[in-house]
Structure 1
Amino acid sequence: MPRILNKIALEEHFSAPGLEPTINEVAFFDPGVLAGIEAALPELAEQRLLAMDRAGIAIAVLSQTAPGVQSIRDKALAVELAQRVNDFLHTRMALAPARFRGFACVALQDVDAACNELKRCIQELGFVGVLVNGATNGVYLDEPHFAPFWHTLEQLDVPLYLHPGLVSEHDAAFRGHPELEGAVWSWTCDTATHLLRLVFAQLLDRHPRARLILGHMGETLPYMLWRLDSRAAVTTVGRALIRPPSETLKRHVTVTTSGVCADVPLRCALEAMGDHAVMFSTDYPYEDIQLAADWIEQAAITEDQRIRVCCTNARRVLRLA
């Protein structure tokens, strides 16, 4: 049995009707692996709860799997589907209210509609934040027209989980190597770049109360803090920053262990970001929920760090009772 029975897992995926990933969007998966994932994504009842019980997970924060609505060209359709996703999740959360929380799905194709939907999800449906699957049709969140969305996040005081999504453009580095697509590598590059765009555009200085979450042990960024500061300091843009990039990252970002079950990157994230800034996740059903739970129970960290990672940090970040 796990030693910590009240784990909170922050990146746990589902698919709502009408937004199931298509075979073209997940073609990098082995078909045999994909079959199991497709079966688990829409299931928000007995099997998921049983897996959580075995892993000692008290609460799973559920989010619409990628690509979600971010890749939909039709603005009105994207807005409608986001509302459907949130209504679907709300009804499923009600079946196990002590066990499930939700991240809102928003269609940033229409920023005003996204703000209104986020307010509805937080104030009426009881969600604890919002998750965005990458760029919205190739447009990143540092663009000026997204300012009302950032103001809404600050007003509601909820975190934005910046998750990978479909990468709209690839440079020559990926040409001829489809094995590097998706979760193997391209998603990490794109998501880390997305976050750094926010830093170097000084967006987080304009929105000082904004809070972000990065999965996959911080998409390699905790490992790069010293070099980001060193190289930014010799550029004209970096010299214009109010503070070094590492300080902005540590002020605004927490990271989760989703999809990474290894001690070395965990210890790096804890040392680089702080014991208060790392939270447990499993990336279910894309990763093995039991493997993730067993690993964090045995990871070579202190018991105080283990408790923070498994539950207390998430309770603070998500304002859980």
Structure 2
Amino acid sequence: MTSPARVDVHQHIVPPVWAQALDSRGMDSGGWAIPAWSAADAISMMDEQSIATGVLSVTAPGVRLDDDAAGARSLARAVNEYGAEIVKDRPGRMGSFASIPLPDVDSALEEAAYALDILGADGVVLMSNAGGRYLGDPEFEPLWAELDRREAVVFIHPAQPPMPLLPGTPAPMADYIFDTTRTALNMVMGGVMSRHRKMKVILSHGGGFLPYAAYRFSGLTSTVIDTGRDAEDVLRDLKRFYFDTALAASPSALPSLLAFAEPGHVLYGSDWPFAPQNAGSYYNHFLEAYPDFAPGQAEAIDRGSAEVLFPRLAR
């Protein structure tokens, strides 16, 4: 690409207050160090990677760092206000997904309303699990109902599942793609995706291994597990998800993703700065050289599909 055009729906921000909160607790992102971040560095990376707009989000572990619900509410507000200031000065180059403090549903509803109505956030980001509770949990239903009422865009980012890290293996290497898949399937089996059809839900990293295993999930649902739903019904809900390409535009993952995803449901993602720039270049090269796109599909991934989800970015 010769000029910035992409909309990057999986780009991260590192608010100082969030980085300090992690550092004070001796925490990182699933065994992955918290990188330095600045708006200037983000713009520089975006120009080099042909990205016109980055929709920013805080990565795992999100804003609920311990059992302090009040602290999570305060951190979410600080993070979201910081992000809003960054976007306000660069509305064409940056957008934001607001962090909300699940599993406290009342606080999550309050912060979602504040971020979307007052701060002008482009959507919300949820971690794949909140203290070990997955997103199909029935107690989260009021939040899903409200996000659906608003026709919100919801970005699901993986978090460390409630189990120890594999020795020598940071969570982003293996556990994150597992947890993305786990929460997506939990949402479908819990009826979230069938009850709420107006919201748009983006899964990180090509949806984990959901595209690869979707027909296994739907087939076993109808033949082994008595859920009262047939395979086509489950498959239809699995196909309602959107997917980003962050760390997923590879020779094995991309064909599987494109074979499964509905038209317009694949969006560009970089995962910068947690995925370093040389990783972005590697995946961009494969994305740009991929020979089997349908007509218009590459352009839709880079920008067109995101313009539908975020009309303010439409050219």
TM-score (norm 1): 0.88
Q: Secondary structure at the match of 1:179?
A: coil
* 1:185 alignment partner in structure 2: 174
Q: Secondary structure at the match of 1:91?
A: helix
Partners of 1:133 and 1:27 in 2: how far apart? Answer: 12
1:98 and 2:69 correspond: no
* 2:28 alignment partner in structure 1: 25
1:153 and 2:156 correspond: no
Say which of 295, 302, 310 aligns to 1:318. Answer: 310
C-alpha deviation, 1:159, in angstroms: 1.8
* 1:286 alignment partner in structure 2: 274
Partners of 1:142 and 1:235 in 2: how far apart? Answer: 21
- Structure 1 counterpart of 2:242, one-letter code: T
CA RMSD of aligned residues (A): 2.1
Residues 13 and 63, structure 1, Cα contact 8 Å, conserved in 2: yes
1:88 and 2:77 correspond: no
Say which of 230, 250, 255 aligns to 1:267. Answer: 255
- Structure 2 counterpart of 1:25, one-letter code: D
Residues 31 and 170, structure 2, Cα contact 8 Å, conserved in 1: yes
Partners of 1:49 and 1:141 in 2: how far apart? Answer: 33
Q: Which runs of 5+ in 1 are unaligned?
A: none
C-alpha deviation, 1:49, in angstroms: 0.6
Say which of 208, 224, 227 aligns to 2:197. Answer: 208
* 2:291 alignment partner in structure 1: 300
Partners of 1:234 and 1:180 in 2: how far apart? Answer: 35
1:146-177, Cα deviation, whole Å (9 max, x unpaired): 1111111111111211111132235xxx6xx4
1:68 and 2:57 correspond: no
Change (3 A) 1:64 1:27: closer
1:45-93, Cα deviation, whole Å (9 max, x unpaired): x221111111111000000121121333111110111011000001111
- Structure 1 counterpart of 2:300, one-letter code: R
- Structure 2 counterpart of 1:295, one-letter code: F
The 5 Å alignment of 1:31-42 reads 34=33, 38-40=35-37
Residues 202 and 241, structure 1, Cα contact 8 Å, conserved in 2: no
Partners of 1:214 and 1:86 in 2: how far apart? Answer: 21
The 5 Å alignment of 1:233-244 reads 233-240=222-229, 243-244=232-233
Q: Which runs of 5+ in 2 are unaligned?
A: none
Partners of 1:192 and 1:144 in 2: how far apart? Answer: 18
Q: Which has the larger displacement, 66-75 or 18-27?
A: 18-27
TM-score (norm 2): 0.89
